[in-house]
């Protein structure tokens, strides 16, 4: 899967598939999940390995990524970033804070959002759009809507300190372009200005990324 299109100029994206390879983290990061089950420790190590590689390319090769009370990673001063992991895959994106205010990246296994879950996650407009898609495309596109919202929340949570309801944001996909936009209600005009993002679908995965320019 080629994820290069997800990273705008000025950002760094590193992805890693899990082939059982050794993953070495500094003690300060390993202890954050010392009491967790093996799968959680492995997922954590995959994501942190990606994040450390991205930071090294930005000149922070010795940084130890702590964890905020919300669970979000603590990036170096002057850096914004985001980490994601799903089954046997992880990715991280980071960039200078003078280039981007916030970043959100998310990866999901395609087909994990069924109609029952969609009723809890999607707006009426999103569900109507999905119903008009072919049966073969609908599972991946439902996952895309979910992943785009996750990326949006990852970007906005550090700025706003809250997580809106999934049905309080709406995703619009531009067919054939790898581009989506997310918007949420605004008291002034009904909806706030849309925030653009990009996506890639392939190898059983959906990966989305959203960067807010400074």
**Which of 81, 99, 117 is the last residue in one of the domains?**
99
How many domains, in total, are found in the chain?
2
Output the pTM of the full model.
Answer: 0.93
Last residue of a domain, one of 78, 99, 120: 99
Cβ–Cβ under 8 Å, residues 170 and 125: yes
Cα angle at 178 between 173 and 181, to 5 degrees?
40
**62 and 121 in a common domain:** no
CATH number at residue 205: 3.90.470.20
- Per-residue tens of pLDDT for the chain, all 214 residues: 889 999 999 999 999 999 999 999 999 999 999 999 999 999 999 999 999 999 999 999 889 999 988 888 999 999 999 999 999 999 999 999 999 999 999 999 999 898 889 999 999 999 999 999 999 999 999 999 999 999 999 998 888 766 667 888 999 998 789 999 998 766 555 557 789 999 999 999 999 999 999 8
The pLDDT value given to residue 160: 73
Q: Report the pLDDT value the prediction gives residue 184, as an integer from 0 to 100.
A: 79
Domain range enclosing 33: 4-99
Q: How high is the pLDDT of residue 176?
A: 82
Model pLDDT, residue 163 = 65
> Which of 99, 117, 144 marks a domain boundary?
99
pLDDT of residue 186: 65
Rounded Cα distance between 172 and 185, Å, is: 14
pLDDT of residue 190: 54
Q: Burial letters for 175-205: b for 16+ Cβ neighbours within 10 Å, e otherwise?
A: eeeeebbbbbeeeeeeeeeebebbbbbeeeb
DSSP 4: G
Say how far apart CA 127 and CA 169 lie, in whole Å: 13
Q: Identify whether the C-beta of residue 210 lies closer than 8 Å to the C-beta of residue 197.
A: yes
């Amino acid at each position: 899967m080629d994820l290069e299109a997800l990273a705008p100029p000025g950002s760094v994206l590193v992805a890693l598939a899990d082939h059982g390879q050794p993953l070495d983290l500094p003690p300060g990061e390993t202890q954050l999940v010392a009491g967790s089950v093996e799968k959680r420790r492995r997922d954590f190590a995959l994501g942190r390995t990606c994040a450390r590689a991205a930071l090294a390319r930005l000149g922070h090769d010795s940084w130890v990524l702590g964890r905020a009370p919300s669970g979000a990673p603590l990036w170096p001063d002057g850096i914004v970033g985001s980490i994601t992991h799903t089954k046997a895959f992880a990715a991280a994106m980071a960039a200078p804070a003078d280039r981007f205010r916030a970043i959100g990246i998310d990866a999901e296994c395609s087909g994990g959002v069924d109609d029952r879950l969609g009723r809890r996650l999607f707006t009426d407009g999103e569900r109507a759009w999905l119903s008009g898609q072919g049966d073969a495309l609908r599972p991946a596109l439902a996952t895309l809507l979910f992943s785009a919202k996750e990326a949006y929340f990852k970007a906005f949570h550090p700025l706003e300190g809250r997580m809106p309801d999934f049905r309080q944001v709406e995703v619009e996909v531009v067919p054939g372009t790898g581009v989506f936009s997310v918007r949420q209600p605004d008291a002034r005009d009904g909806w706030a200005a849309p925030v653009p993002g990009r996506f890639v679908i392939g190898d059983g995965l959906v990966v989305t990324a959203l960067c807010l320019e400074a």
